[in-house]
Structure 1
Amino acid sequence: MNFLTQIDNLALIALLVVSGIALFLPTLSTLIRGKGLTATEATIWINRRKAYVLDLRPEEAFKVGHLPGAKLANASAIAAAIEALKLDRKRPVVLVCETGAQSRKALSEVQKLGFLEVGALDGGVQAWKLAALPLVK
């Protein structure tokens, strides 16, 4: 009977370890790759957390329509754009492009500049439009 109790305890410990790892993996993934944000999550970051919004699209696309409060930032020189804007590194940053691909690529560079929280709008401006959220001209 004692042997069966030990097996039960080992099974419970193994379950606890596996559960802990499963809960931690998304956090680890976010720390390594940065956070992908849905349109709803981006809205919450912008409205409640006063996140900066950096639009990485070309100026012509930006002028046609951009997220409210967005600042234009050249994707190929994002470090220089951020320095020119004098952004507070304690505030979150939402990166936006047309489809989300360019924003994902820029995530690590913005994190290296000392920003604690950086997210990329999954699906970019296209996803923002599909969610029927407003664009500013």
Structure 2
Amino acid sequence: MNFLTQIDNLALIALLLVSGSALFLPTLSTLIGGKGLSPTEATIWINRRKAYVFDLRPEEAYKAGRLPGAKFIKPSEITTAIEKLKLDRNNPVVLVCETGAHSRKAIAEVKSLGFAEVATLDGGVQAWKEAALPLVK
């Protein structure tokens, strides 16, 4: 009987650890990779909070269709391009790429330029299209 109780306790502890990890992983991901916005949240940032939108995709993809108000920036020239724009550092920034993976890598660099809030569009332009939101050509 004592042995079965110990097994039950171990199972409960394992369940607690797994569920706790599952709850904490999204927070950890945000802390490491920065904030990710859904297409709806990105729209709110753009329309209500006057967020700057920087498109980090290849120029051909940018020309084929971009988020409204997005500016094309080569990922290798982020600092130079943003410095030339002389932007208000109090406004938030939304970084966009095709899937959201490449723009996450640029968050730290943009934050180092003095912007308080920097986020990526989760799922990138693909998620924007799936949400049936307009692209500008």
The normalised TM-score by structure 2 is 0.77
**Which residue of structure 2 lines up, in the alignment, with residue 42 of structure 1?**
42
1:52 has 2:52 as partner = yes
**Which residue of structure 1 lines up, in the alignment, with residue 80 of structure 2?**
80
Q: Which one-letter code corresponds to 1:113 in the other structure?
A: L
Where 1:120 maps in the other structure, the secondary structure is strand
- Trace 1:1-137 onto structure 2 (pairs within 5 A): 26=27, 30=30, 32-137=32-137
Gaps of 5+ in 1: 1-21
Q: Distance in 2 between matches of 1:50 and 1:29?
A: 26
Q: Which one-letter code corresponds to 2:49 in the other structure?
A: R
**Runs of 4+ residues over 4 Å off in structure 1:** 28-32
Work out whether residues 53 and 70 of structure 2, in 8 Å CA contact, stay in contact via their aligned partners in 1: yes
Aligned-residue CA RMSD in angstroms? 1.8
Gaps of 5+ in 2: 1-22
Change (3 A) 1:31 1:89: farther
In the alignment of these two chains, the number of paired residues is 114
Change (3 A) 1:129 1:122: same
Work out whether residues 33 and 105 of structure 2, in 8 Å CA contact, stay in contact via their aligned partners in 1: no
| TM-aligned CA deviation for residue 33 of structure 1 | 3.2
Q: Distance in 2 between matches of 1:104 and 1:96?
A: 9
| TM-aligned CA deviation for residue 76 of structure 1 | 1.1
Work out whether residues 95 and 121 of structure 2, in 8 Å CA contact, stay in contact via their aligned partners in 1: yes
